Amino acid sequence: MKMINTAKQDNVYKNIIHIDFNHVDKTHQDVNIPRVAPIDTVSKATVHVNAKKHHDAQPFKTYDDIQAISNYFIQHYQFRNNLLFICGINFGIRISDLLKLHFSDLIDDNGVIKESFEILEQKTKSTRKKTKNRIVGINDAVRQALILYLTHNKCSLDDYLFPNESNNAGLYREPLTRKGAEYVIKSVTKTLNIKGRYNTHSLRKTFGRFYMIKHKDDPQAIYKLQIIFGHSSPAITKRYIGIEDEEI
């Protein structure tokens, strides 16, 4: 079991919280993005069901809220929760895939943090025309949150990125459960009095919302995000992230 040597990393955590999308378009840069919106072939009934399924979760809409949540986790020495939150809003992958990540996905055998990693999303793969890995970039916000966690915890490359820290987890740590991740998000928003409906879906939705805001001048942005999320239409993507045309 190879331990991670934090001495090989820059051990200064600057507490810079940002959402960076420099790597996002690598995943689908070879995809032909339609210039005209395709006809929405999904029935209204199906759209209604999908929209209702995610209706209860909202994205985090301001950097102030994002910064407040990260600051809270750091100030209370909840470094795993901070890493979960920062990875969630920057990776834009489903919580089921996020919780399965190991340190080896982000750190190479030499103990150096990677620039990106590949993942085959389990739920979304069935909605894609071709089954292929998605490339997820590792930006400075994730890098700093990871270094902060490793500074306070001894881990091996084989360990889950978000371990279950309960006493029942056993000697060989199991990953944080979805229910546990749900508690992390709901409890911090309640403690900080951040109004709205938040759960684990909020992390991925926040990624999508800020992606659209950052790329507001790109007329193809919604189609790129649709492909990244594996949605069947841009209309579903807009509903999913809860964004209106006037906001972008």
Sorted by sequence, the CB contacts under 8 Å of residue 25 that are 6+ apart come out as 224
Q: What is the pLDDT of residues 28-81, one digit of tens each?
A: 333 333 333 223 223 333 334 344 544 579 999 999 999 999 999 999 999 999
The full DSSP string for 42-77 is S-HHHHHHHHHHTTT------HHHHHHHHHHHHHTT
Is the alpha carbon torsion for 226, 227, 229, 233 positive or negative?
positive
Three-class secondary structure of residue 175 per DSSP: strand
Whole-angstrom Cα distance, residue 88 to residue 83? 8
| Residue showing tokens 């889950």 | 160
Question: Would you state the torsion angle of the CA atoms of residues 142, 147, 152, 155, taken in this order, to the nearest 10 degrees?
Answer: 90
| Residue 110 pLDDT grade (very low, low, confident, very high; cuts 50, 70, 90) | very high
pLDDT of residue 244: 67
Q: What is the pLDDT of residues 206-229, one digit of tens each?
A: 999 999 999 989 999 999 999 899
pLDDT of residue 54: 47
Whole-angstrom Cα distance, residue 118 to residue 85? 20
Q: How far is C-alpha 207 from the geometric centre of its chain's CA atoms?
A: 6
| Residue 166 pLDDT grade (very low, low, confident, very high; cuts 50, 70, 90) | confident
Question: Would you state the torsion angle of the CA atoms of residues 133, 203, 197, 15, taken in this order, to the nearest 10 degrees?
Answer: 180
Which tokens is 113 given?
Answer: 């943090």
Whole-angstrom Cα distance, residue 13 to residue 175? 25
